[in-house]
Amino acid sequence: MRRPSAGVLRRGSPWFGQLGLSTVSAPAPEALNRAKSLFAVIPDYPEPGVTFQDITPVLADPEGLTTLAEALLAPFAGQFDLIAGIEARGFLLAGAMAGLTNARGGSAGVLTIRKAGKLPSPAAKVSYELEYGSAAIEAPDVLRPGHRVLIVDDVLATGGTIAACRELVTELGAEVVGATAVMKVEALDGEKIAGEVHSLFSC
């Protein structure tokens, strides 16, 4: 297929996303500040000493949800085929991000990264440590070599979850093109384990 010049490119053209021309651009700083103001911050949950960052109220706010999806996507336009959302809140972000990408001329599906024991026939499983315990995640058998995957989660804390997700995707022969999260817990230095993560806010 001959690559068209940008001037004649239409939304829906298979070249649109590949040329990075998906129209998802970064939201205004005021919109981001508003979204941040909707966060719930819960001291000593789920155990003493942990300050839980809960994005649930932002998800319930139409403008806030769109703002998060736009900001999470903006640096990665046209670079991915699938958005890997990590159960549970990452699922919702990935769904919103894929919907927005597809509505604005790009192309994206969702890869559901599930907590262990939920998928009928997982293709791979990785165990990891959390700020409050340990866990394991599994991937469904939908990844193919050459798939470009963007990972998304709500919070980057120790980095164990995103690191495990990178490992899962890579083990299944696909390429991780980036990772993004809404909130980074600075004190835990999660990028040491998870690698580079584009995060919208830090606390």
Ligand X SMILES: Nc1ncnc2[nH]cnc12
Ligand Y SMILES: O=P(O)(O)OC[C@H]1O[C@H](OP(=O)(O)OP(=O)(O)O)[C@H](O)[C@@H]1O
DSSP-H helix ranges across the chain:
15-18, 29-37, 56-59, 62-73, 89-103, 160-171, 191-194
- Spatial distance between the Cα atoms of 94 and 35, rounded to a whole number of angstroms: 17
Q: In the range 164-193, which residues lie near ligand Y by CB under 6 A?
A: 190
Q: CB of residue 128 vs ligand Y: minimum separation in angstroms?
A: 7
Nearer to ligand Y, 19 or 135 (CB): 135
**108 with 79: CB under 8 angstroms?**
no
**194 with 163: CB under 8 angstroms?**
yes
- Any catalytic annotation for residue 131? yes
- Name residue, tokens 């963007």: 150
Give the count of residues interacting with ligand X (CB under 6 A).
Answer: 9
Report the partner that residue 53 touches, choosing among ligand X, ligand Y, none (CB closer than 5 to 8 A by kind): ligand X
Q: CB of residue 4 vs ligand Y: minimum separation in angstroms?
A: 40
**21 with 9: CB under 8 angstroms?**
yes
- Residues 6 or more apart whose CB falls under 8 angstroms from that of 90 comprise 84, 113, 152, 153, 154
Nearer to ligand Y, 81 or 131 (CB): 131
- Any catalytic annotation for residue 3? no
Q: Is 88 in the site for ligand X (CB under 6 A)?
A: no
Among 71, 80, 83, 89, binds ligand Y (CB under 6 A): 89
- Spatial distance between the Cα atoms of 114 and 88, rounded to a whole number of angstroms: 8
Nearer to ligand Y, 25 or 127 (CB): 127
For the window 109-148, what string marks contact with ligand Y as x by the rule CB under 6 A?
Answer: ---------------------xx---x-------------
Tell me which residues touch ligand Y (CB under 6 A): 86-89, 130-131, 135, 153-161, 190
| Enzyme catalytic residues | 89, 131
